[in-house]
């Protein structure tokens, strides 16, 4: 079966953070509401469309870096600069993942 623009229809399965099934949909794109609610989303091709585990790990690492930054003495400016670089890079990666997830939900 094919949908608009001759894209094959797929089945999407949605799961919460504990891996409990919360719903499914069919179409060429995931259901926006179910996608936003889900922690994990898979399609009928066994592709992972959403996995918030990585995002949670990145946010935890960001929090730890901020705590580490506060504890670095001002005399160790090289270490402060390196931690700030890591924080900036991580913030950018988190923003990109969130944007990608938001685009897939629309």
DSSP 52-75: HHHHHHHHHHHHHHHHHHHTS-TT
Structure tokens at 22: 């919360």
pLDDT tens digits, 82-97: 999 999 999 999 998 8
What region does 95 belong to: left with phi over 0, alpha with psi -120 to 50, or beta?
alpha
With 0-12 / 13-18 / 19 or more C-beta atoms within 10 angstroms meaning exposed / middle / buried, residue 35 is: buried
β-pair partners for 2: 8
**Is the model's pLDDT at 2 over the cut of 50?**
no
As a whole number, the mean pLDDT across the chain is 88
Structure tokens at 79: 């270490």
pTM of the model: 0.67
């Amino acid at each position: 079966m094919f949908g608009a623009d001759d894209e094959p229809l797929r089945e999407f399965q949605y799961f919460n953070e504990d891996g409990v099934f919360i719903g499914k949909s069919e179409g060429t794109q995931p259901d926006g509401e179910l996608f936003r609610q889900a922690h994990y989303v898979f399609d009928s091709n066994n592709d992972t469309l959403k996995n918030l585990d990585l995002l949670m790990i990145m946010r935890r690492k960001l929090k730890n870096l901020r705590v580490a930054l506060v504890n670095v003495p001002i005399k160790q400016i090289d270490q402060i600069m390196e931690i700030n670089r890591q924080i900036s890079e991580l913030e950018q990666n988190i923003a990109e993942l969130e944007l990608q997830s938001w685009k897939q939900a629309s």
